[in-house]
Amino acid sequence: MDTSNPLATPAAADTLAASFAASYAGVVAFIAVVDEGSFAKAGNRLGIGRSAVSRSVQKLEAQLDARLFHRTTRSTALTREGELFHANCRVGVAHIVQALDDMRELRQGPPRGQLRIASTVAFGRKVVAPLLRGFQARYPEIAVDLRLDDRPADFASDGIDVAFRDGRMDDSQVIAKQLIPMQMLVVASPGYAREHGLPRHVDELAAHRCINLRLASGRVRDWEFKVDGQPRKLVPAALQSFNDEDLALQAVLDGQGLAQVAAYQACELLRSGELVVCLDGQAPDDRGHYLCWLSRRQLPARIRVFIDHMSTETRALDLGCPRAAPSMALS
């Protein structure tokens, strides 16, 4: 028999369950007395008699081998041990209350509560933030906290409910729903194209001025392609590098060179003719924009409705490379 396992036998499991139930009742009674300031008021709050509250607290004190309250006929005050126990218990009780609220939220009334969202900076500014107005008009009782950071969000330590991620998903710890494919386009200004021409093949990038993007990690982002059916990465020599995608795109608009950007950043500029695209026939086709959340069988309503809303609204946007986009790639 495994004596190290407290649940090794049914009898032991029953004993542990009974002990837990008694402890839980004692903690609930203890917290109620602290909050209400008296055993009588705690009993009214819990719907039980004063004596039942007192017995639960006495059993808890016996388990802890510590006195939690100074009791007189006129007042009830915490002992030093009671203050320490209350401080330690409060966080756990708050988590239990939140868990119960989340479960009730799944079944009752309109979605409410705080929703913590993480997104990459450029996608968050261009796509996510503009769609939040419609979401909050539809769900006014959900408070939104949007955090922009190009580093992957840590759901647990950062307290994130949902996150937008770009590229390829290789995190098996989360559920990832692709919103739209992520097209990577090499773009230039018409002025640059007229003066310098445009590459017809990836190998010709070395003869052009290129603008690179530096990631939050400090590494320069690879330019990615699919050549003859095979993935290919390279980092071209660059006269300019930026750690902000908007600045890199502005340098392209100013005629400073070529850059590889996501289609959602350039689609409007391509339609207006302010940018032209090249090497689109060698663009990668295995990337996406994803909405991610922790694997849970039952999602709180605030998360579920956000996923549904953003999936529908993002897909309704025309964020891809226009089919008739100006292209100056030579035949």
Domain with CATH 3.40.190.290 in the chain: 184-282
* pLDDT of amino acid 74: 76
Fold for 10-107, please state it: Arc Repressor Mutant, subunit A (1.10.10)
Instruction: Give pTM, 2 decimals.
Output: 0.63
* pLDDT of amino acid 329: 43
Q: Tell me the backbone φ, ψ of residue 37, rounded to 5 degrees.
A: 85, 0
Q: What share of the chain is helix, strand, coil (3-state, %, to 5)?
A: 45, 20, 30
Is residue 149 a contact partner of residue 216, using CB atoms and an 8 Å limit? Answer: yes
Burial 57-88 (b: 16+ CB within 10 A, else e): beebbeeeeeebbeeeeeebebeeebeebbee
Distances (CA, A) of 280 to 82, 257, 303: 69, 17, 36
* pLDDT of amino acid 330: 40
The answer as to CATH 1.25.10.10 being correct for domain 184-282 is no
Fold for 113-182+288-316, please state it: D-Maltodextrin-Binding Protein; domain 2 (3.40.190)
What's 258's DSSP letter? Answer: B
Q: Using CB atoms within 10 A of its CB, is residue 288 exposed (0-12), middle (13-18) or buried (19+)?
A: middle
* pLDDT of amino acid 1: 47
Domain with CATH 1.10.10.10 in the chain: 10-107
Domain with CATH 3.40.190.10 in the chain: 113-182+288-316
pLDDT tens per residue, the chain (331 residues)? 444 554 455 555 454 445 555 577 888 888 888 888 889 888 888 888 889 989 989 998 888 888 999 887 777 889 999 899 888 887 776 676 666 666 665 566 688 888 999 999 999 999 999 999 999 999 999 999 999 988 877 787 778 899 999 888 776 678 889 998 888 999 999 999 999 999 999 999 999 999 999 988 889 999 999 998 899 999 999 989 999 999 999 999 999 999 999 999 999 999 999 999 999 888 888 888 999 998 766 678 889 999 999 999 999 988 877 764 555 544 3
- Crossing angle (nearest 10°) for helices 263-272 and 245-253: 20
